[in-house]
Every structure is written in structure tokens, then in C-alpha cells.
């Protein structure tokens, strides 16, 4: 039974998740995969009372395999989706929406007024997911994804219930 059938379990990412996350990262983003050091750096900011990051993994309860992960950075009232990924065999299962929902819940907890993200211009599947959640395109970052020199579409979501002035994140 796959995680799609049983529902992957979401939990906070820990240091021991970095190796399987890197394997999934390399499979999904072979040209521009994050390095081990990048994940270590992000996790270093995800703990304690001054945390500015939230990282989550999705684990298949049948075999313990990591089938997705996502991360959010937050500062000054602004959230930024750093990464979101779902194993190919889980595409269409709703796992991407669950991961994004988790990040947006955390953006509210961080008192973010808005959340930004970059998505490859050629990744229409992800763009449609973000649009379903209310993200709107606001611009482009030319050549953002390297070494392929692929442009990024920048999208923004105003977080409901936080539109008033906030010292935020």
C-alpha cells in the first residue's frame, strides 16, 4: 500500500532525514539540487525560540520511506517557501497540497503577512497547485535556476487574518 493510499505522515525534519531528502532532491531536481550544507544550514535555523525556519518531511507509514519534504523561511512579516518536493510516485495524491498547507499554517504561526515563492516557469503542475491556494504571479527572476539558466516565476499570497500591521516573524 502506497503513501497515497494510506496518507503519508508529516513530521518535522531532523538531521537524520537529510540523507534521504538529498536522494529525493537529486532525483527530482538533478540540475539544481540543494547541497547537504544547504539543508544543514536551514535546519540550524529551525529550532529554538528564535527559529526562523520550518521544515517538514512526509513519511510513508508502510515502509518509513520519505516521499516528500518542504521548507519555509520567515522574517519581518514575510514568509518564503524555500522548497517543496514530492516523490514522483506520489504525484496526484494530494501530498503537495498537504505539505503546502503545513507551510502556510506555520507562516500564520510566524505572523507572516504574506508568503512568497519562486517556481520554475516550466513547472506548470506546481504553478497550478500554488494558484489553487491563492498565490498570484508578481514577477520573474531571469536565470534563477542554475546551471540550466531557467527563469523563475515569483508568486505571492496574502495570509488571511494577518493583514494588519505586525512586528511579525
DSSP 34-96: PPHHHHHHHHHTSSSTT--EEEEEEE-TTT--EEEEEEEEEETTEEEEEEEEE-GGGTTTTHH
130 carries an active-site annotation = yes
The one catalytic residue in 69, 130, 144, 145 is 130
List the catalytic residue out of 55, 118, 144, 145: 118
Question: 141: which strand partners?
Answer: 152
**Residue 83 CB-half CA count within 13 A:** 27
Rounded Cα gap, residues 45 and 52, in angstroms: 6
Task: Tell me which long-range contacts 34-40 makes (C-beta under 8 A, separation of at least 24).
Answer: 34/83, 40/15
Catalytic (active site) residue 69? no
Q: Which residues are catalytic?
A: 118, 130
Amino acid at each position: 500500500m502506497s503513501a497515497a493510499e494510506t496518507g503519508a505522515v508529516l513530521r518535522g525534519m531532523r538531521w537524520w532525514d537529510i540523507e534521504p531528502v538529498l536522494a529525493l532532491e537529486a532525483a527530482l531536481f538533478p540540475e539544481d539540487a540543494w547541497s547537504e550544507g544547504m539543508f544543514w544550514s536551514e535546519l540550524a535555523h529551525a529550532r529554538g525560540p528564535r527559529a526562523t525556519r520550518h521544515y517538514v518531511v512526509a513519511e510513508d507509514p508502510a515502509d518509513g520511506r520519505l516521499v516528500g519534504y518542504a521548507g519555509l523561511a520567515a522574517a519581518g512579516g514575510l514568509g518564503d517557501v524555500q522548497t517543496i518536493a514530492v516523490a514522483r510516485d506520489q504525484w496526484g495524491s494530494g501530498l503537495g497540497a498537504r505539505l503546502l498547507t503545513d507551510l502556510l499554517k506555520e507562516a500564520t504561526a510566524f505572523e507572516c503577512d504574506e508568503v512568497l515563492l519562486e517556481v520554475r516557469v516550466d513547472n506548470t503542475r506546481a504553478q497550478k497547485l500554488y494558484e489553487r491556494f491563492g498565490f498570484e504571479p508578481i514577477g520573474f527572476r531571469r536565470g534563477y535556476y542554475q546551471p540550466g539558466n531557467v527563469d523563475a516565476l515569483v508568486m505571492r499570497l496574502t495570509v488571511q487574518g494577518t493583514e494588519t500591521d505586525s512586528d511579525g516573524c
